[in-house]
Amino acid sequence: MRAMSPPFGTPFGIQSRRDDPRRPLLQGVLVLLCLGLPAAVVPDVYKYVDKDGNVYFSDEPLSGAHLSLEWKRTSKRLAAENKQQSEAHRRRQEEAMARVQARLDSHAVNVSAARPSAPVSGSMSERRARYRHLIEANASRYGLSPALLHAVIRTESAYKANALSHAGACGLMQLMPATAARFGVGDIWSPAENIRGGSAYLRFLLDLFDGDLRLALAGYNAGENAVKKFGNQIPPYRETQDYVRKVLRHLAAERLAHRS
């Protein structure tokens, strides 16, 4: 941004082009109003534009043939406009959060309705216990439930740290090398690094799809672009659809075991 010196007058602030020209000025006026200064000492504001498109704000009229007055606002009007914009922004945020919460609530009902799979037992139970502390640590780090990480790992690798798929996915959470690199995994075969990378990816997917667990799981299996391609729906791939159902069944089993 290139600062321009006004030809006359004392400007509140200057912006070189037309993008968001009132923001510095609005902030200054609002500060004065919030300090309780009388309206008389808070000046009116003039916005001028020169022939090159440079914008000037001033607390007094400016002269010059190359300047054209775009608008004049009283301090009260600027404050009122800013308040109105802030309230509209707050309402949009509240509405967005309400939509996200409603979606989370609806999916919580659907997940709890999934038929639980059989409890983990035998050698898988021993492997599960081996990685429990890593799972809990990463669940806390990324704001996930340990039950979800257990369900994904059980589905992906049955807790086998050396699992390798035909497509080249590696380790406990079956990370593809590109995904591992994307989330800063140095050693894809390290259980600690693998679980951290997979947890970071799940967190990313949940945020991307507004907390929709089914879409996040579909993205984990098929990639987020596949979910977007089909209009933010689970892709019509049998493997992906079976994967989502399987993880939800394991998740239901984890929650049931936790309650008992």
Could you give the residue numbers annotated as active site?
156
Which residue, among 104, 128, 10, has the nearest Cα to 61 in the 3D structure? 10
The DSSP string of 138-202 is: HHHHHT--HHHHHHHHHHHHTT-TT-B-TT--BTTTTB-HHHHHHTT-S-TT-HHHHHHHHHHHH
Integer Cα distance of 228 and 205 in angstroms: 12
- DSSP classification of residue 21: T
Q: How far apart are CA 82 and CA 142, in angstroms?
A: 36
Other residues' Cβ atoms within 10 Å of the Cβ of residue 77: 13
Q: What count of residues does the chain have?
A: 260
- Smallest CA-to-CA distance from 121 within 71, 159, 173 is with 159
- Give the sheet arrangement for strand 14-15, strand by strand: 14-15, 55-58, 45-50, 67-73
> 119 and 249 in contact (C-beta within 8 Å)?
no
Query: Residue 4 burial (CB < 10 Å; 0-12/13-18/19+)?
Result: middle
